[in-house]
Amino acid sequence: MQRLRFPMALVFLQVFTPKSSAFVGTGGGGVWFNGRGGSTTETRSSYPQDPNGNREYTALQAWRSAMTDDPYGILASWLGPDVCFYRGVFCSYAPEVPIFASFRVVSGIDLNHANLEGSLVKELALLDHLSFLHLNSNRFSGTVPDSFRELHYLSELDLSNNRFSGPFPTSTLLIPNLIYLDLRFNSFSGEVPDELFVKDLDAIFLNNNQFGGQIPMTLWASPASVITLANNQFSGSIPFNFGYMSSRIREVLFLNNKLTGCIPEGVGYLTDVEVLDLSFNSLAGHLPSSLSCLSEVEVLNIAHNQFSGELPELVCDLRSLANLTVAYNFFSGFSLDCARLFFRNVWFDFSGNCIPGSDMQRPPPECMGIPGGGLSCLRIPSTRPLACAGSMGQRDGMNRVPYTFPSLP
């Protein structure tokens, strides 16, 4: 199955604003045949009928009964036995049946931005061939039914920007072919299960909920290219076990939580990461030299923490850097290489630190007692060595000294 690829800027933006896309199917019932949108003016009886169509009709009518408000009249078309002409419902030929004998089945539902109010019902599991369920920007509440584990064809589940609550919906982890999970902008709470990050997901969006507790140690085992945990209540340290991590990760957004401790040395294993945002936490200590391994990072934001010491030169030398934000920490200085970032057209915000002779810094009394200044960031050895050369290669006629991660004896 081809994996999804998400544009960096789009993912970064959607952490801060509720997902809002145009409602699909506004021209009437959506009908797909071999992946192409069919006209809703086709004669309904001209297509083979699903012998299990009563199950789909039962599922959608049960769901319709659980809707309490439909301001746009979306459900007015949800009448009659031919569910393929329901607005927002998409059909295609059953994949397991030869094309000459195939019949239509419900393969997708897209009710994005429909502003529907109601809840999910267990009968939705009767939609045996459902491959995507897009419900962002509605007013659905309650929980995700346990029966969702029976949706064996489901690969995309988008419940973002609703009113769902309760603990993490563990039934989603039992959907065998799910690769995209979006729970943003809801009121889910409690701890996130370890199993989330070992499931074969390509995107994990949990931001803007009320999840808390420690981030599971399985985090870096995830094959996802995007992991957003921003704007929650996660606490404790960032997991340090990078030894078994995937190399596909592109965006890591942990901003606005309650994380403490140091940045793990193993962050250098994120060699393909493009966005790393750890801002608005309580992280402290000195930055690890392994940050120099992030040769593809474009956005590095560690603002509003308690980091101290000098900003490492190798961080400022990162070759792909477009935005470096270290504002409102307790850094005491930076090298000439960092000062040159302006000439590379790199956005560099170092305001609110303790850098002598620079504008927009903290008042001197605030720099006397640095929070977390006594924190020892003893680097925990990783499970395997990784060497990376300085990201700028040769510069000023001198070779960068490669950074080698420590390994266990």
Roughly how many angstroms between the first and final C-alpha of the chain, as a whole number?
A: 39
Look up residue 100 and give its two tokens.
Answer: 């000459």
Domains of the chain: residue spans and CATH: 50-189 (3.80.10.10), 207-371 (3.80.10.10)
The CA–CA distances, whole Å, from 143 to 119, 132, 316, 342 equal 8, 18, 45, 49
Residues 287/312, Cβ–Cβ less than 8 Å: yes
> Residue 266: what pLDDT?
85
DSSP letters spanning 187-238: EEEEPPPGGGGGS--SEEE--SSEEEEEPPTTGGG---SEEE--SSEEEEPP
> Residue 371: what pLDDT?
77
- Enumerate long-range contacts of 41-44, CB under 8 Å, 24 or more apart: 44/82, 44/84, 44/85
Angle at 224 between CA 220 and CA 227, to 5 degrees: 75
> Residue 42: what pLDDT?
39
Extract the residue ranges of the chain whose pLDDT is less than 50.
Answer: 1-2, 8-13, 20-47, 100-101, 243, 380-385, 389-409
As a dihedral over the C-alpha atoms of residue 251, residue 210, residue 258, residue 260, rounded to 10 degrees, the angle is -70
Pairwise CA distance, residues 26 & 176, whole Å: 31
> Residue 269: what pLDDT?
85
Q: Which amino acid is at 293?
A: C
- Give the torsion sign (CA, 223, 229, 230, 235): negative
Number of H helices, E strands in the chain: 4, 29
> Residue 152: what pLDDT?
95
> Residue 182: what pLDDT?
98
- What is the pTM for the complete model shown? 0.82
